[in-house]
Amino acid sequence: MANRALSRLTSPFRTTSGPARWLLVTGLLITLAFIVVAIFAPWIAPTDFSQSKVDGVKLPKLQAPSGAHVFGTNDQFYDVLSRVIWGARTGLTVVVLSVLLSVVAGVVLGLVSGYVGGWTDRLLVFFTDAIYAFPTLLLAIVFSFLLSGKLGGGVLAAAISLTVIYIPQYFRVVRNTTVSAREATYVEAARAIGAKDSTIMWRYLFGNVIGSVPVIGTLNAADALGTLAALGFLGFGIQPTEAAEWGYDLDRALDDVSAGIWWTAAFPGAAIVLLIVGLTLVGEGLNETINPVLRKRRLRKVVLPPRDRETTEVGQ
C-alpha cells in the first residue's frame, strides 16, 4: 500500500520531460542553495548580523567590496555579506512559518466550510472574501502594526501578518473542491456505513482536496518573500535589532545609491530577486508536473518485433 502510494506520488516526476522538468530542477537548485546558506549561516557569515566590531576594532564604514569584505560594508559599519547571509535565514524562516500556518488554517476552514455548508459556509465565505478584497500589502501593514505591540517586531509577528493574507487562497480552493466532492459515491458509501462527519472529512475527503495546495504554497512563498521585503522597506517589518532583513537593508541603502555607493543595495536586492525567481520556478514546475492537463509525458519509442521471413513468404 505504501509503495503504491509512493509510486503514484512520484510517477509525474519520472514521466515529465521538457521545460517543466528544467523549471523544477532549476528552481530547486536555487532554493536549496539559499536553504543551505540559511542553515549554516553561523558558520558561513564572517560576522553576526548586528556586529560592527571584530576583536574590538570597528569595521570600516561604506567600504567598497574587497578581499577583507567581499560585499563591502554599509553605513552602520556592518558587513554586507553577513547581512545577506543572515537575511536568507530570516526570510526563509518567515516564509516557511507563514505558509505552514496559512495552509493549516485555510485547509481546515475550507474543508469544514465545504462539507458542513449552511450558515457556517456562508459566514466563512463572507469573512474570507472580505479579507481577499483588501490589497495584500496594505493588509500586511495593518496586521504588522497591530501585532508589533503584542508580539514585538520579530519573526513571529511578521509571519502571522503574512499568514492572514494567504488563508483565503487555500480556503477558496479547498472549499470549492470539497463542495464538489462531498456528493461523490465514496462519500455516500461512507455515510451509509455510519462513518462520522469528522472521519469522512479527514479520511476520505482530505487527501482528494489538497492536490493544488503544494503548488499554491510554493507560489505564495515567493509572494510572501516580496511582501516581507516590502514591509521591511516601508519600516513595518522585522525590527533591525531582532534579525537581518533584506527589505530594511534596501531602505537604508537609498541614500547610498544617490551618492554612487551601489553595493549596499545591489547585493540584498539581488538576493531577493534570485530567491523569488527560485521559488517561482519551483511553483511553475510543480504545476506543470502535478497537473495532468499541463503535464507532458515522455513518449517511449515503439519497437515492433521483426516479422518472420517464412510467414511473409507463405502469406504472399
- Consecutive 10-residue runs of the chain (316 residues): their mean pLDDT? 45 55 87 94 90 85 88 90 93 93 91 86 89 86 83 84 90 86 78 78 78 83 92 87 89 86 92 93 79 52 60 52
Q: Which residues pair with 297 in a beta bridge?
A: 16
Please tell me the distance from the alpha carbon of residue 57 to that of residue 61, in angstroms, as a whole number. Answer: 12
pLDDT of 182? 78
Q: How far is CA 41 from CA 242, 268, 269, in A?
A: 16, 15, 19
DSSP state of 203: I
Residue with the three cell numbers 510554493 = 218
Asked if residue 15 lies in contact with residue 297, where contact means CB atoms within 8 angstroms, the answer is yes
Q: Look at residues 206, 226, 210 and name the one whose alpha carbon lies nearest to residue 278.
A: 226
Cell representation of residue 9: 506520488
Give me the pLDDT at residue 2, please.
Answer: 40
C-alpha cell at 143: 496586521
- The structure's pTM equals 0.81
Find how far residue 217's CA is from the centre of its chain: 5
In order of their start, the domains of the chain are 44-281 (1.10.3720.10)
* Per-residue pLDDT at 287: 75
Q: What is the pLDDT of residue 12?
A: 47
Strands in the chain per DSSP E:
53-54, 57-58
